[in-house]
Amino acid sequence: MARSWRLLRRGGTLVSYGTAATKDSGGNSRLPVLQLFARLTLWNYLPNGKSAHFYNFWAGRRRLSDFRRRLGEDLTQVLRLLADGVLAPQVAARFPLSEAASALALAESRTVAGKVVIVPDANGS
């Protein structure tokens, strides 16, 4: 997070959408999330023209129609940015579906930067 914040230029926005990297931390599981919120709040008060936000994927799920609408809008925007080449996902590894267990093991190892992607097997399954 701190490195991403430093890389932002004036007018940039940092969006955090998860705290999975802290899921195995000892102690109170809410503490890392609270620390993240505090950090983002502090960064928003700095006079550097940058902003930082937390995106809660599940926010609003109690009102299903609002949740679906917001999710549809957000995903449409993200997919448009991907299609336009504005966003480039960091892929650490690709595995055929037949090797899904290996893909999961790698993803859970916390040794790679980026996403572990499962693709159809060469034979189309």
pTM value is: 0.55
Question: How high is the pLDDT of residue 21?
Answer: 58
CA angle, residues 1, 22, 100, in degrees to nearest 5: 100
Q: Domain residue spans in the chain? A: 1-55, 60-88, 90-125
Higher pLDDT, 61 or 88: 88
pLDDT digits (tens, 9 = 90+) for 27-38: 666 777 788 888
**3 state DSSP class of 84:** coil
Question: How high is the pLDDT of residue 19?
Answer: 61
Alpha carbon 36 to chain centroid, angstroms: 14
Contacts of 112 (CB under 8 A, 6+ apart): 92, 93, 106
Which pLDDT band, with edges at 50, 70 and 90, does 58 fall under?
A: low
Alpha carbon 28 to chain centroid, angstroms: 22
pLDDT digits (tens, 9 = 90+) for 14-25: 888 766 655 555
3-state SS of 47-81 is: CCCCEEEECCCCCCCCCHHHHHHHHHHHHHHHHHH
pLDDT digits (tens, 9 = 90+) for 69-125: 888 888 899 899 999 999 888 899 999 999 999 999 998 887 888 889 999 988 765
